[in-house]
Amino acid sequence: MKLIILENYSQASEWAAKYIRNRIVQFGPGPGRFFTLGLPTGLPRDHPESYHSFMWNNFFKHIDISPENVHILDGNAPDLQAECDAFEEKIKAAGGIELFVGGIGPDGHIAFNEPGSSLVSRTRVKTLAMDTILANARFFDGDLSKVPTMALTVGVGTVMDAREVMILITGAHKAFALYKAIEDGVNHMWTVSAFQQHPNTVFVCDEDATLELKVKTVKYFKGLMMVHNKLVEPLYSMKEMGAERSQSKKPYSD
Amino acid sequence: MPSNKSVSDAPIVQFTNCRILRDHQLQREDLWVREGKILNPEKLFFDEKGSADVQLDCKDSIIAPGFIDVQINGGFGVDFSLATDDFKSGIDLVSQKILSHGVTSFCPTLVTSPPSVYHQVLPQISVRNGGAHGAGVLGAHLEGPFISKEKKGAHPEHCLRTFEAGAFQDLLATYGSLDCVQIVTLAPEMRRSSEVIRELTKRGVCVSLGHSVANLSQAEEAVQHGATFITHLFNAMLPFHHRDPGIVGLLTSDKIPAGRRVFYGMISDGIHTNPAALRIAHRAHPKGLVLVTDAIAGMGLAPGRHTLGQQVVEIDGLNTYIAGTKTLSGSVATMDTCVRHFQEATGCSVETALEAASLHPAQLLGIEHKKGTLDYDSDADFLMLNDSLYVQATYIAGEEVWRQDVSGM
């Protein structure tokens, strides 16, 4: 695991963005060679705060992605399990997920894999924990009865199959979950801990999120920042990479 | 990028690098247009898996809905109250010229005239969409002849009428037909006005109060019967008095039926209304303010003498008076000048100034679902403006119909 500790939310976000950018550029995507970026799913389609709106406003409308290359789980599909199975097939067809980017909940969940989710689970329909329903109530005018109780989600196993996993964790309210995820054992009550068994994980966090970690852990990883920062500097661009195709740079790994 | 649209093959244009007026705010968003309407890019992306065919860089312009002028008597030598042989080409000329002022829809206005004028002119006015030929015609605004003698302003006294005898039938006989009439201005203190107002409202005609000596209760009663507009607030009506605010009191009246809003026209050319009065009205009832030009034939022409229906008016700079008097008659200000002056005088936000000339007139006429906004599925009538609110380009139904000459014309 690489644990990247930045001072605050903005810096953590920026570091993560630069890292993802470099990874995409170095991968050299092209027609038929997809850089498959995995992201966790959320609310149903119809809602104005739906995941589709969220993704459109915060990501898709700012980039030049082709709509055909966007795959979002459809919570309104007639046969939900079939929708989930088809999603797994699409991932395989695209060559597997190159990089999965996600956050964790205060209860240590990744995507909607709530405590108790199998660590080898696949994309499926998941019942939501009361904490998650309460957290989502703000999108439904505070009316608990309107909040969906189920969601489609990629499984822990699905994410474990990704070639690389990046988890973003910011804020003091996530500190305990981060501690459980990296300093305690692998446990299905804290599903993010599954990534201790993934060969290629990056945790990007801010100072507040480290509040429950041992000082030793924090000092160790802060000490590695000089080396880790080489992953984001220099910042590559597609145009440059085109010219330097012959000298391919391998990303640093531990 | 291949655009694979399932709903329509028409080209999709994406206007980028701009700030659009949406939800009462200037937002840094792209504007998407297809088949003359504003397109929802999110639906295009997810439902149709489509993308833009053409991307236009707007160089950081402001994009606002096209202006709607609901009171314009003519311009460029054309007088809408004059029954000439080439009346239609007069409408065409004005509708084409006002594109450069940012007006994409308007209501040709007729001042008090003899019935023969209405009978000849009205059949030649037809509601039509705008385009490269000019701004769209929404319908006529008939200002008079059922107005008060005491507040006739520039209207000819010998043509004033009442509808005491036959109420609505008298009105219909005077005008001949109401087919393409959008707004009628009348004085509500006239006997039987309530019946007339009700009948007009029933037929979808917007009733406006103006050129009147009505007190507040008479005005409120008119609103209860259906009136929704006030013609050029402050002008040609009793001045505000603290024990009887008159028509001006409608701005803060508590007798307006629920769910209805009273709108009021303001000529913000710096002459018809003192900026302090403009500010008082704006602060009292900001959501009802509708900018109008009340432009006359002389607008766009050199100073001198021009006609306004049966009268002769003299233009001196921005001032227009009945020849030989100090009675104001119409204005020669252009709509974009009014928007800029309004913004300066009130210190309001750019969004507010732009909405007073687009959203509010659309709401007055009940057409805000397709005009006056940049909401998805609205008609793509919009303007590109610079930060000082000078119009750089005018678009109707998504097509560019006027552009500021770079040489600075």
- CATH code assigned at A164: 3.40.50.1360
In this prediction, residue B18 has a pLDDT band, given cuts at 50, 70 and 90, of very high
Q: How far is CA B201 from CA B177, B196, B278, in A?
A: 15, 8, 28
Q: CA B110, CA B87: separation in Å to the nearest integer? A: 13
Q: Which of B45, B49, B50 sits opposite A56 (nearest CB)?
A: B45
Q: What is the pLDDT of residue B222?
A: 97
Report CB contact under 8 Å: A67, B51: yes
pLDDT in tens, A49-85: 577 888 888 899 998 888 988 988 877 778 888 989 9
Q: Compute the 3-state secondary structure of chain B and give helix, strand, coil in percent, each to the nearest 5.
A: 25, 30, 45
Contact of A144 with A134, CB cutoff 8 Å: yes
Report CB contact under 8 Å: B49, A67: yes
Q: For the residues B38-55, what does the mean pLDDT come to?
A: 92
Which residues on neighbouring strands pair with residue A114, listed in sequence order? none
Structure tokens at B92: 């065409």
How is residue A252 annotated by DSSP? P
Report CB contact under 8 Å: A53, B49: no
In chain A, the largest separation of any two C-alpha atoms, in whole Å, equals 58
- Chain A contact probe: residue of B15, B17, B23, B42 with most A CBs at under 10 A: B42
Residues of B in contact with A70 (CB under 8 A): 45-46
- Between chain A and chain B, how many beta carbons pairs sit less than 8 Å apart? 30
| Interface check B41 vs A, CB under 8 A | yes
B319-322 β-sheet, strand order: B304-308, B311-316, B319-322
Q: Is the pLDDT of residue B232 over 80?
A: yes
Share of chain B above pLDDT 90, in %: 84
Q: Which of A52, A57, A67 sits opposite B50 (nearest CB)?
A: A67
| Interface check A228 vs B, CB under 8 A | no
Q: Which of A53, A66, A68 sits opposite B42 (nearest CB)?
A: A53
CA distance B66 to chain A (A): 25
Among B69, B269, B294, B379, which one carries the catalytic annotation?
B294
Neighbouring residues of B296: CB distance < 8 A, sequence distance ≥ 6: B73, B74, B75, B79, B306, B308, B313, B320, B329, B330, B331, B332
pLDDT in tens, B139-185: 999 998 999 999 999 899 999 999 999 999 999 999 999 999 999 99
A95 sits in the region (left: phi over 0; alpha: psi -120 to 50; else beta) called: left
Structure tokens at B144: 């008079």
Q: Are strands B206-209 and B181-186 parallel, antiparallel or unpaired?
A: parallel
| Interface check A70 vs B, CB under 8 A | yes
Amino acid at B346: T
Residue A251 domain flag = no
Residues of A in contact with B48 (CB under 8 A): 67
Mean pLDDT, rounded, of chain B: 93
Of all residues in chain A, the one with the smallest CA distance to B14 is: A61
Q: Compute the 3-state secondary structure of chain A and give helix, strand, coil in percent, each to the nearest 5.
A: 45, 15, 40
Enumerate helices (H) and strands (E) in chain B, giving the number of each. Answer: 10, 22
Q: CA B403, CA B95: separation in Å to the nearest integer? A: 15
Q: What is the pLDDT of residue A251?
A: 53
Contact of B248 with B233, CB cutoff 8 Å: yes
CA distance A64 to chain B (A): 9
pLDDT in tens, B315-359: 887 788 888 888 888 888 999 999 999 999 999 999 999 999 999
Q: CA A112, CA A129: separation in Å to the nearest integer? A: 9
Report CB contact under 8 Å: B45, A60: yes
Residue in this structure with the two tokens 């459109």, named with its chain if needed: A56
Q: Is the pLDDT of residue A123 over 80?
A: yes
Q: For the residues A160-179, what does the mean pLDDT come to?
A: 95
Q: CA A109, CA A101: separation in Å to the nearest integer? A: 14
Contact of B109 with B309, CB cutoff 8 Å: no
Least confident of A199-203, B1-5, B191-195, B278-282: B1-5
Amino acid at B113: S
Q: What is the pLDDT of residue A31?
A: 81
Least confident of A117-131, B29-43, B88-102, B147-161: A117-131
Q: What is the pLDDT of residue A127?
A: 79
Q: What is the pLDDT of residue B407?
A: 61
Residue range(s) defining the domain that contains residue A141: 1-27+35-242
Q: For the residues A87-104, what does the mean pLDDT come to?
A: 92
Report CB contact under 8 Å: B51, A53: no
pLDDT in tens, A24-52: 999 888 887 888 887 776 554 445 557 78
Q: How far is CA A131 from CA A40, A143, A240, B65, B384, in A?
A: 18, 14, 47, 44, 48
Q: What is the pLDDT of residue A243?
A: 57
Q: What is the pLDDT of residue B303?
A: 81
How is residue B56 annotated by DSSP? E
Report CB contact under 8 Å: A66, B30: no
Is B317 in a helix, a strand, or coil? coil
Amino acid at A155: G
Residues of A in contact with B50 (CB under 8 A): 67
Q: What is the pLDDT of residue B1?
A: 43
Q: Is the pLDDT of residue B227 over 90?
A: yes
Q: How far is CA A211 from CA A20, A85, A178, A183, in A?
A: 26, 39, 9, 13
Number of structural domains chain A divides into? 1
Q: CA A94, CA A89: separation in Å to the nearest integer? A: 9
Residues of A in contact with B28 (CB under 8 A): none
- Where exactly does CATH 3.20.20.140 map onto chain B? 66-365
| Interface check A56 vs B, CB under 8 A | yes
Who has greater pLDDT, B325 or A225? A225
- Where exactly does CATH 2.30.40.10 map onto chain B? 4-64+373-403
Tell me whether residue B244 is one of the annotated catalytic residues. no
Residues of B in contact with A67 (CB under 8 A): 4, 45-46, 48-51
Is B44 in a helix, a strand, or coil? helix
Q: Is the pLDDT of residue A190 over 80?
A: yes
| Interface check A68 vs B, CB under 8 A | yes
Task: Please report, in range form, the residues annotated as the binding site of B.
Answer: 143, 154, 211, 232, 235-236, 243, 272, 328-330
Q: CA A188, CA B202: separation in Å to the nearest integer? A: 69
Buried b (16+ CB within 10 A) or exposed e, B173-210: ebbbebebbbbbbbbbbbebbbebbbbbeeeebbbbbb
Contact of B391 with B404, CB cutoff 8 Å: yes
Q: What is the pLDDT of residue B7?
A: 75
Would you mind telling me the total number of residues written for chain B in this entry? 409
Query: Could you say which architecture CATH assigns to the domain B4-64+373-403?
Result: Roll (2.30)
| Interface check B7 vs A, CB under 8 A | no
| Interface check A52 vs B, CB under 8 A | yes
- Chain B contact probe: residue of A49, A65, A66 with most B CBs at under 10 A: A66
Residue A250 domain flag = no
Residue A197 domain flag = yes
Of all residues in chain B, the one with the smallest CA distance to A45 is: B46
Q: What is the pLDDT of residue A219?
A: 97
Report CB contact under 8 Å: B51, A66: yes
Residues of A in contact with B1 (CB under 8 A): 64, 66
Q: Could you give the count of Cα atoms lying within 13 Å of B348 in the half-sphere of its Cβ?
A: 27
Amino acid at A11: Q
Mean pLDDT, rounded, of chain A: 86
Share of chain A above pLDDT 90, in %: 52
In this prediction, residue B2 has a pLDDT band, given cuts at 50, 70 and 90, of very low
Q: CA A44, CA A29: separation in Å to the nearest integer? A: 30
| Interface check A61 vs B, CB under 8 A | yes
Q: Which of A53, A56, A66 sits opposite B1 (nearest CB)?
A: A66
Angle at B279 between CA B278 and CA B283, to 5 degrees: 120
Least confident of A114-128, A162-176, A210-224, B236-250: A114-128
Amino acid at B246: G
Query: Could you say which architecture CATH assigns to the domain B66-365?
Result: Alpha-Beta Barrel (3.20)
Closest residue by Cα to residue B104 from B400, B406, B340, B405? B400
CA distance B3 to chain A (A): 9
Least confident of A44-48, A85-89, B133-137: A44-48
Is B1 in a helix, a strand, or coil? coil
Residues of B in contact with A53 (CB under 8 A): 42
Residues of B in contact with A62 (CB under 8 A): none
Residue A156 domain flag = yes
CA distance A78 to chain B (A): 17
Is B179 in a helix, a strand, or coil? coil
A28 sits in the region (left: phi over 0; alpha: psi -120 to 50; else beta) called: left
